Amino acid sequence: MKRYVYINDDEASQDLYCDNRLSNRKYTLLNFLPKNLWEQFSRFMNQYFLLIACLQLWSLITPVNPASTWGPLIFIFAVSASKEAWDDYNRYLSDKKANEKEVWVVKKGVKKHIQAQDIQVGNIVWLRENDEAPCDLVLIGTSDPQGVCYVETAALDGEIDLKTRVIPATCMGIDLELLHKIKAICNETKLGMSRGIPEPKLTAMDAMIDKLTGAIFVFQIVVVMVLGIAGNVWKDTEARKQWYVMYPKEGPWYELLVIPLRFELLCSIMIPISIKVSLDLVKSLYAKFIDWDNEMIDNATGTPSHATNTAISEDLGQVEYILTDKTGTLTENRMIFRRCCISGVFYGNENGDALKDGQLLNAIASGSTDVIRFLTVMAVCNTVIPVQSKTGSILYKAQSQDEDALVHAAAKLHMVFVKKNANILEIRFNGSIIQYEVLETLEFTSDRKRMSVVLKDCQSGKIILLSKGADEAILPYASAAQQTRIFVEAVEQYSQLGLRTLCLAWRELEEDEYQEWSLTFKEASSTLVDREWRIAETCQRLERDLEVLGVTAIEDRLQDGVPETIETLRKAGINFWMLTGDKQNTAIQIALSCNFISPEPKGQLLLIDGKTEDEVCTSLERVLLTMRITTSEPKDVAFVVDGWALEIALKHYRKAFTELAILSRTAICCRVTPSQKAQLVELLKSCDYRTLAIGDGGNDVRMIQQADIGVGISGREGLQAARAADYSIGSVSGTSLFNSVSLMAYNVFYTSIPALVSVLDKDLSEGTVIQHPQILFYCQAGRLLNPSTFAGWFGRSLFHAIVVFVISIHSYAYEKSEMEELSMVALSGCIWLQAFVVAMETNSFTVFQHLAIWGNLFVFYIINWILSAIPSSGMYTIMFRLCAQPSYWITMFLIVAAGMGPVLALKYFRYTYRPSKINILQQAERLGGPILSLGTIEPQPRSIEKEVSPLSIITQPKNRNPVYEPLLSDSPNSTRRSFGPGTPFDFFQSQSRLSSVYSRNCKDN
């Protein structure tokens, strides 16, 4: 699309283009209410509540006071809406901040300060170093004599390496004062376009609850149909005979509907309305607990974890796949130069530290050319900027940790990179200063996997090309004369040790060769189409016939506790994928050392490789075949795939690869690009697995955004990942992070039951219904959701309902069958039973637990006593009368015993003779057994403290229970209070329904 831009003509562009106002807001003042309501009602559960509430307005059919539904409904919607409004207000504030940011604009030759939102298309913007680009810009001039400027696009695509932008040749002569010009702005910017609409992220649980609500709704409909028809038949055959009811002879046309609808309303408590509030509360508590967790505070920096998205925390428990970045996540991303191999001589092999290798020091002292060249490449071939601090020491600002390590190592080896003045580099070697002029920097890209600099030696005037990069990016371009076998071996050897390797190379350039190349390079960098590809192609032409100097080996230390954590997580059945940009061997070594894969013979590693489609295909099929065979065997099978093969596999053999992905528990993907990482996440997600992506670097951002749950580690590589992630975790604290994940995995479902059940059950008055919330919450643990558990809970609730109903109607038969009394007996029976059910499902009793369970019961009595003391209330004196009757207490006791006995017996039987994994672990834990003695964990030579941490996986979960209890101790009161007056009503109606059902049964007999 062609666009004409009128430079500095505000009026003309005002008509044509929108302004630069940034708006992330979802709502405006006007559309807030309708839009928010629309959004809320797009969920099935809310529609259902609305339907019920509307039905209740029809007084002919409503069995309860409509306020009992409308009140909570409005409250819930108000809470959700105000939360949204608050979020949106914050978005507005941050927008405002961005919009009102001061920007320099050049107008008629005068620099003016204006707000970012007032920038018009066609304005000339003047940016200084480290300024944020307020809009899309076209570069028309820089302060750099070569017309180069560096742009960091982390905010757009998460890549933190600087990208070069060169002034188009036509603009070369333009006055340097006019620097940048705007092209197109506002929400049409790249950022704005790619941002997408902020969708409310639905968690698996939300979806599940919606699904279950649907299921229960269907069940309800069935029940309502059956009861409704039965009710109508009964009405016509029996009720019309009952003169005392005075049924009118002719009812209105909707008469047939009345009874089913009434039943529908009665059944509506099957899906309790408070479920929504409770869920939200629990979610935010989860998030808060992640924030609070001291174990997840990084000791070094004191940064605690931070949960940004409160809504999805419970998904943590359902993670089936963890995709992790290696560098900085599993490892500390604190690179240390360990070994090197210079022209065939290995240094640092004996003591594991080349910096202390006497041989190397000697070689340096003696001035061996190869060694000096090697060191020069180490020191110079990078984008590091040295900063001289006031004390005289030199600090290095490096984009990548590898470069940092190399420069530091070089400095230790007397090759000190001192200064970088525009294009002049200064190096101090053994007291003498050497100056180089940087002619060109051929940047590192993840595709090229190498970087080079073209230098001009200021003394000799010689032009040299220094390159460093991955072995496969350097060694193939070595000059034909050179034997690269020794370097291949070196790389092999180092990567076996789990070290990161880089090959260093150099070449002397002829003056005219450089000049010629330089022109094409300039041209390539100023093209508008396919610039990156063309630059890469141009670079390729220069980076050939290299003289390989040597190989460096950098150690990337594993984070504390990583092996143990991974071991435990894998035992928890979570599949692990490691995605790394490292070499295959390095990756495998790291994987071995952190228990990612088991060594032979226990484990088996399958390799997918190949350069062509066919090769990949055959290898993929072979691996798949092995995989299928071995799944039944107790063997750890992992597959390794490299970026190239992955590309082909994803493109052409997606189906086979997906199957492989499902079959294998562990995978290592090496040499993968950021977009491939994201593709993998997508692949797993498409198979309906919950994925969690962990990463720290900018290159993980895409993956993190793609995954169901993103965990960003706000570590050394900057905050991009943290910004994108749903959770950011204080740097380098892998262990506790994993702990919390698995702890969730073990416990999400346990914990929420006591909490929510006791919150919810209060306002329910009928046994069957009481148990339904539990069904819902049990399903939180996605993997526990299957028809049998559902049926189990359903059966139990039905059983309890029958127990409560039968016992109360029989023990309060005849002269005691007063409606209010009987209803209170049944209600208290439910409450008692529910307290015991919760107690039985609770795994650990803390103060809060006791408070919640027994406090609940206590509160129930208090409230009913209060209600019974009010003369005008329907249940005046009822509770006092009941509590004075011995038969009441005997009935309660009977209900509890009859209700809980079989449940306890069944639970005990399952627990002892058909235990689940969780049960066994619980047993083991409580008996103080060594939980992690299972399997073989390589003894890690780490501090004892670290070994304790994985243990806490098992011990901690149970402790999570108290989380919810404060909710309980409060909300029952409040819900009850709000329901207080409604309850008796409500109840006696349901009783009457029950009794009518009951009596019908009796008649049938």
Partner 1 sequence: MDIDRGSTSINEEVARSIPIHSGRTKVFYQFTQQNLPACKPVLTPAWVITTFLLMGVIFIPVGLVTLRASRSVNPFSFCFCLIIQLFVVEIVERYDIECVPEVLRGNKVDKYMKAPIHIYYQLDNYYQNHRRYVKSRNDKQLLHGLKYNDTSSCQPEESNNGLPIVPCGLIAWSLFNDTYTFSRGTTELMVSRKNIAWKSDRDHKFGKRVHPFNFQNGTLTGGGKLNPHIPLSDQEDLIVWMRTAALPSFRKLYGRIEEDLDAGDVVVVRLMNNYNTYSFGGKKKLVLSTSGWLGGKNDFLGAAYVFVGSSSVIISIVFLLLHVKNPRPYGETAYLSWNLKSIS
Q: Which of 151, 176, 365, 897 binds partner 1 (CB under 8 A)?
A: 897
- What x-and-dash track marks residues 823-842 binding partner 1 by CB under 8 A? x-------------------
* Of residues 240 and 428, the one with the C-beta less far from partner 1: 240
C-alpha to C-alpha distance for 127 and 235, rounded to whole angstroms:
83
Q: Which stretch binds partner 1 (CB under 8 A): 109-117, 390-398, 614-622, 629-637?
A: 629-637
345-383 b/e (C-beta count within 10 Å ≥ 16 → b): bbbbbeeeebbebeebeebbeeebeebbbbbbbbbbbbb
Least CB distance to partner 1 at residue 815 (A): 4
CB-nearer residue toward partner 1: 83 or 917: 917
- The least CB distance from residue 733 to partner 1, in Å, is 13
| Of the candidate residues 817, 936, 943, 974, the single one contacting partner 1 (CB under 8 A) | 817
601 preceded by a cis bond (ω within 30 of 0): yes
Q: For residue 319, what are its two tokens? A: 């993670």
| Residues 842-861, interacting with partner 1 (CB under 8 A) | 843-849
C-alpha–C-alpha distance, residues 844 and 848, integer Å: 10
In Å, how far are 112, 147, 171, 180 from 174, measured between CA atoms?
19, 11, 6, 11
Residue 548 near residue 936, CB atoms below 8 Å: no
650 to 679: interface string for partner 1, x by CB under 8 A:
-------------x-x--------------
Interface characters, 521-560, with partner 1 (x: CB under 8 A): ----------------------------------------
Instruction: Pick the closer one to partner 1 by CB: 213 or 664.
Output: 664
Q: Encoding tokens for residue 193?
A: 């376009």
Q: List binders of partner 1 among 907-966 (CB under 8 A).
A: 907-909, 911-913, 915, 917, 920-927, 929, 931, 933-935, 956, 958-963
CA distance 286 to 417: 49
890 is a site residue for partner 1 (CB under 8 A): yes
- Using CB under 8 A as the binding rule, the residues of this chain from 866 to 885 that contact partner 1 are 871, 874, 876-877, 881, 885
Is 325 part of the annotated catalytic residue set? yes
Is residue 439 within 8 Å of residue 454, measured between CB atoms? yes
Q: Does 291 engage in binding with partner 1 (CB under 8 A)?
A: yes
3-state secondary structure of 448: coil
**Residue whose C-alpha is closest to residue 496's, from 367, 379, 591:** 591
Q: Should residue 689 be labelled a site residue for partner 1 when binding is judged by CB under 8 A? A: no
Which of these is catalytic: 161, 325, 560, 696? 325
Q: How far apart are CA 580 and CA 329, in angstroms?
A: 10
Quick one: angle between helices 965-979 and 67-99, nearest 10?
Answer: 130
Q: Is 300 in the site for partner 1 (CB under 8 A)?
A: no
Least separation, in Å, of the C-beta of 814 and partner 1? Answer: 4
Residues near partner 1 (CB under 8 A), total:
117
Site for partner 1 in 89-128 (CB under 8 A): 94, 97-98
The residues pairing with 713 across neighbouring beta strands, listed in sequence order, are 729
**596-599 CB contacts, 8 Å cutoff, 24+ apart:** 596/566, 596/638, 596/666, 596/668, 597/636, 597/638, 597/666, 597/668, 598/636
Per CB under 8 A, contacts with partner 1 among 60-79 are: 63
Give 372 or 660: the residue with its C-beta nearer to partner 1. Answer: 660
Nearer to partner 1, 679 or 747 (CB): 747
Among 238, 280, 489, 621, binds partner 1 (CB under 8 A): 238
Q: Is 289 in the site for partner 1 (CB under 8 A)?
A: yes
Report the site for partner 1 in 553-592 (rule: CB under 8 A): 571, 573
815 phi and psi, to 5 degrees? -70, -15
DSSP SS3 for 441: strand
Residue of the chain from 46, 56, 526, 891 that contacts partner 1 (CB under 8 A): 891
CA nearest to 698, candidates 158, 262, 250, 296: 158
Task: Write down the least CB distance from residue 941 to partner 1, Å.
Answer: 25
CA 953 to each of CA 381, 480, 598, 956: distance values in angstroms, whole numbers, following the listed order: 45, 56, 21, 6
The verdict on 601 binding partner 1 (CB under 8 A) reads no
Q: Which residue, 520 or 959, is less far from partner 1 as judged by CB?
A: 959
Closest to partner 1 by CB, 476 or 915? 915
Q: Residue 174 phi/psi, 5° resolution?
A: -65, 145
Q: Is residue 297 a contact residue for partner 1 (CB under 8 A)?
A: yes
| The only residue of 814, 939, 941, 944 in contact with partner 1, by rule CB under 8 A | 814
Enumerate the active-site residues.
325
